[in-house]
Structure 1
């Protein structure tokens, strides 16, 4: 009895007035919300419009977001279940978003800020929809598995592009299609999916699915290497370590063997171009991409000197060069190449503190959930994915990122259920 009461309180469930009928309706809406979340992560990676251009008119990403968000609201209406936003700490996230929306009032480019505000609104819908849809361990595991399998499309696509030598970036770096046409974006997306595939592999006993997930891990690592993304390679190593080298001693020992095998495979099969690009770590001063980042940070310095509290407005950094770039920064307009610097330059110090605090909350909660006996494997994978993705963001900088916001949602959904399991176990012991 005590366990049931703790479970109901933890889920925020209010008993429907209509008893069983309302509960069944809520369950149907919950299943539809999960379907929306799965469709969202599948299309984010697999990009069906690339394979079947005729479906582009359907705008599957938007459709999945509306399906999931609408189903979450409908379940709330029929059941009385509380809409989860992430707890009191979510004020940091929504405060950051509010500053972005208000920035149109002082923006140097109001049109760009209105577009950025709309993008942030869509990201928040994704966040809320996924957070509320993933309300059981099984749904979280299914979400990770679907994302991992869907990542086969860009991973295999990147490998095939490299093998065909099809318009390689800088002559050596692979890419794919859509948002993954940028080698760095391809590497970042696969860094997220890599821990998902490892966690899903450990959670399933279906041989066909294990084979598929094993192929996904191999394809992901190969594609990351072939992108030539130095931050992606370092982030992949970090994600592997955080996924495999934490947990029970037996799991850590297995993880060490797997990690050593994967590293050996990379060392054995990495092409010459991988080693040539990686060797530039020793002399970054001569690297053109590093020079571009330094120029962007010079512009940031000028913005912070003149507008430290409010920035140039959401989406305005790339438009700020004509007004704020010193002569030494050159005339080529660039993004900030660092997510936190981009937020500082566009929205000011208060928005930066809010966003930074929010990221810290999500990382801390997800890290703690890694000790949970039920969802620990999944929590460690989500933490590894988020940590790896944020590492890439430190030298790339894409604050309007669907991957980032669904990671926020999955991390908090996992940590919420892990905390619920802890309370249920404590109540059982007390009883």
Structure 2
């Protein structure tokens, strides 16, 4: 039954995407981030659901008038350059054939990112995209938070099987990045009970992140909390609330959790941590000696036997920075860092200029929370190998499109429509946009 429900949603959504490709982008986002088919046990689990949706969206994009150039800001141009450099690096890498599946997966994510930039040309579309992106993870986080509470933290929380966030550490970082986005969406709600519901989901996501036993996740949530406290106009109240939550919840975590967290201070005695440092050294040496890097992955016995200091065991980089450095060299790392630096600055621009009038306050809220989420990614990602994960790129899409919306003063000319009207198949409900 679960397989039939999932496949029915996919097939119906794919058909709709032929006429309304932006709806297909929402469906793609749900499939690629939440991975609902991985919670089935039959035909849906192995079906190429993402490919079905992507093909429908691409066909719909070719025929729709309502699209725009994907190059809407500096981050999009840098992402395009990085995608080109990544491809060159893959072709010049150590194992081109073996690295093809990873290149194929990442380039599809980047392709759909650019398609999203082309199709989300209205305020309501951007907000709908934010809702789908955020809830795709938040609902899993709420489930994980309840599991942590019911089991008193004695078992780890894991992400969807065979996904970017299947690992407990990766899932923790994804949930941490989701919390600020939930707060952005909460600020757009008028109903009191809906706001309280979002607050409950935020708390459960935080509990699930802690229940993942992720040390990098703990550092990320600490960095995000510090930034939120620093920006708050009620520092004393927020500080007391944070201390209260820490005092109430953390003492209930089992000793196994505390033992793992203590290794943050004694990393030199932890074999896992030293293995990461060795992988970082290998990544640095690969970049020094190979201009284009090792390819889509530098995790090869050849590199580790040649450059390993503490051991020659092949290990994941456990760092977005050293993973990109080892994979694509110094040029690739520079482009990657520029991508997120310009996205962060664009979010800061939104946070500042969105306050100018009531119509753009939502954009200011988005910019502020996007910055907090990106800080979590920057800190937590320093200890995790997830540089190609969809969520940060979706945040970039939201920020870039919202900034363009504010810059062109779209609220003055954009037709006010409800999301229900936008889902309609009547042409008059489609917002005006310049075809390119």
After TM superposition, the score normalised by the length of structure 1 is 0.78
Match of 2:40 in 1: 52
Decide which of 378, 401, 417 is 1:413's aligned counterpart. 401
Change (3 A) 1:161 1:59: farther
Alignment match, 2:259:
276
Q: Do structure 1's residue 404 and structure 2's residue 384 form an aligned pair?
A: no
2:116 — aligned with what? 130
Q: What is the CA deviation profile of residues 126-158 of structure 1, one whole-angstrom value per residue up to 9, with x for unaligned ones?
A: 211222333333333333333333334321343
Aligned to 1:175: 158
Return structure 1 stretches of 4+ with deviation > 6 angstroms.
28-31, 422-425
**What residue in structure 2 maps to residue 19 of structure 1?**
none
2:325 equivalent in structure 1: 344
> Per the alignment, do residues 115 and 176 of structure 1 end up closer, same or farther by CA in structure 2, a change over 3 Å counting?
closer
Q: CA separation of 1:89/1:189 partners in 2, compared to 1, >3 Å: closer, same or farther?
A: closer
Q: Does 1:310 align with 2:310?
A: no
Q: What's the counterpart of residue 294 of structure 1?
A: 277
Report the more deviating stretch, 393-402 or 96-105: 96-105
Q: Aligned pair 1:226/2:226, yes or no?
A: no
Aligned equivalents of 1:89 and 1:202: distance in 2? 26
Confirm or deny that 1:376 pairs with 2:364: yes
Alignment: residue pair count: 385
Query: Equivalents in 2 of 1:259, 1:400: separation in Å?
Result: 34
Among 362, 367, 379, the alignment partner of 2:348 is 367
Matched, 1:86 2:53: no
Note the C-alpha offset of 1:219. Answer: 0.9
In structure 2, C-alpha distance between the alignment counterparts of 1:288 and 1:232, rounded to whole Å: 19
1:205-220, aligned counterparts within 5 Å?
205-220=190-205
**How many angstroms apart in 2 are the aligned matches of 1:263 and 1:66?**
49
Question: Which residues in structure 2 correspond to 1:111-190 (within 5 Å)?
Answer: 111-159=97-145, 161-162=147-148, 173-178=156-161, 179=163, 180-190=165-175
Are 1:108 and 2:73 matched, yes or no? no
Q: Closer, same or farther in 2 for the Cα pair 1:177/1:117, shift >3 Å?
A: closer
Task: Note the C-alpha offset of 1:222.
Answer: 0.3
CA-to-partner distance for each residue in 1:160-217, whole Å, 9 max, x for gaps? 5546769x9xx85332432343111111110121011111112101345324312210
Q: Find the aligned partners of 2:387 and 2:238 in 1 and give their Cα distance.
A: 33
Answer yes or no: is 1:335 the counterpart of 2:331: no
Q: TM-score when scaled to structure 2?
A: 0.77
**Residues 263, 64 of structure 1: CA spacing in aligned structure 2 closer, same or farther, 3 A cutoff?**
farther
The 1:173–1:276 alpha-carbon spacing in structure 2 relative to 1, beyond 3 Å, is: same
**CA deviation after TM superposition for structure 1 residue 225, in Å:** 1.0
> What is the alpha-carbon root mean square deviation over aligned residues?
3.2
Unaligned runs of 5+ in 2: 1-15, 414-436
Structure 1 unpaired stretches of 5+: 1-27, 247-251, 426-431
In the TM superposition, what whole-angstrom CA distance separates every residue of 1:11-33 from its partner, at most 9, and x where no partner exists?
xxxxxxxxxxxxxxxxx989934
Q: By how many angstroms is 1:289 displaced?
A: 2.6
